[in-house]
Amino acid sequence: MQSPLALIVDDDAAARERAREALARAGITAVAVASPREALDVLRRFPGSDDRSMGPDRIDGRSEAAGALVLRIRELAELDGPVLFAGEAGSGRAHAARSLHGWSTPSEPFTIVPEDDPAAFEVAFRQQAGTVFVASIERLPWPKQEALAAAAASPNARGRLLASTALDPRVAVEDGRMSKALIGAFRQAIVRIPPLRERSADIAVLTRSCVEELCRLNGLAPIAVSADALAALETYPWPGNVRQLRSAIESAVILAEGGTLRARDLPEYLRRAGAPAADAGRADRRFRDAKRSVVDAFERAYLEDLLKRHGGNVTGAAEQSGMLRSALQRLLRKHELHSADFRSRGGPSRYAS
């Protein structure tokens, strides 16, 4: 028989230790944490919790935007109709879809339909029970969009349709980029996934959750995140959203030493972005080094804006900049920028507001 478990929440380390020792003498196993948020992270790892928001597909965050998203997903989980998730690339549309599935029918299968597989597309809506998820429906050829609209409205469909798009559905219909019938099939069940820059209060929570997951998957000892690393992460605009954040943390975890992830472990573009602008003019470095840092900062800012304007289209970006495509690609590699992270960011009017 397992010993009873107690959870101690106190920001005073000495008080936590005294409470733990007292409980141990009484034969009670205690887990001590410093904050309510850490308490939730501990609780979700214990079996028997009936709070499905604490599962692997939970929406992490403490921001108002994250809270509103969770409430909307839980509301739609009680219904049966199709749902469309609209948001920028890397913002977590598929994750939100999985979260909704976990709240509604977790025992049923969650099937992802590849956009380029016609056979899987047909089978999913005729034969597959559970939840069927179609990503990036704006990339579907027009006949497929019409077929998807018909499937969503068909009484013979066995699965619940969830889908995602990187475009503002209303604007996409007006521009002729998406089928009016397809968007109409989702009616009022269109969920906006906020970009990471609108939920910067969640970056610390997402970072710690990601570090914890990476340590668990790779059998690593726990890794703390230093204040300077969090400061750099929280001040960066994250054009690639949560996907880019995770990529940055994955590379930093590899470099982390002594059980702590520090700012020096982060990708170079994050370290440069976190440096105060006033440092550029300081004379405590050689002129060439100081000039290089200013040029690097300019290059990265220019490239990010260029890719945003062209929705990640490298050919169009090269033409506007007056650069050879190969030269632009070299610069993108230098600054660790990926055009795919910008492919849905061609203009502010293209996203749900």
Q: According to the model, what pLDDT value does residue 284 have?
A: 59
What is the separation of C-alpha 97 from the centre of its chain, rounded to a whole number of angstroms? Answer: 12
Average pLDDT, stretch 301-313?
Answer: 83
Average pLDDT, stretch 283-301?
Answer: 72
Task: Quote the CA–CA distance of 229 and 223 in Å, as a whole number.
Answer: 13
- Spatial contact of 69 and 191, defined as CB atoms under 8 Å apart: yes
Q: According to the model, what pLDDT value does residue 162 have?
A: 93
pLDDT higher than 80, residue 109: yes
- Spatial contact of 164 and 88, defined as CB atoms under 8 Å apart: no
Task: Check residue 134 and give left, alpha or beta (phi > 0: left; psi -120 to 50: alpha).
Answer: beta
| DSSP letter assigned to residue 260 | E
pTM to 2 decimals?
A: 0.65
Instruction: For residue 54, name the pLDDT band (cuts at 50, 70, 90).
Output: very low
pLDDT: which is higher, 223 or 113: 223
Q: According to the model, what pLDDT value does residue 160 have?
A: 86
Q: According to the model, what pLDDT value does residue 147 have?
A: 85
pLDDT: which is higher, 128 or 217: 217
Q: According to the model, what pLDDT value does residue 285 have?
A: 63
Which positions ≥6 away from 76 have C-beta within 8 Å?
83, 100, 189, 191
- Kindly state the tokens that stand for 259: 């059980």
Instruction: For residue 202, name the pLDDT band (cuts at 50, 70, 90).
Output: very high
Average pLDDT, the chain: 79
* DSSP codes of every residue in 209-250: HHHHHHHHHHTPPP-EE-HHHHHHHHHS--TTHHHHHHHHHH
Q: At what angle do helices 203-218 and 36-43 cross, to 10 degrees?
A: 40
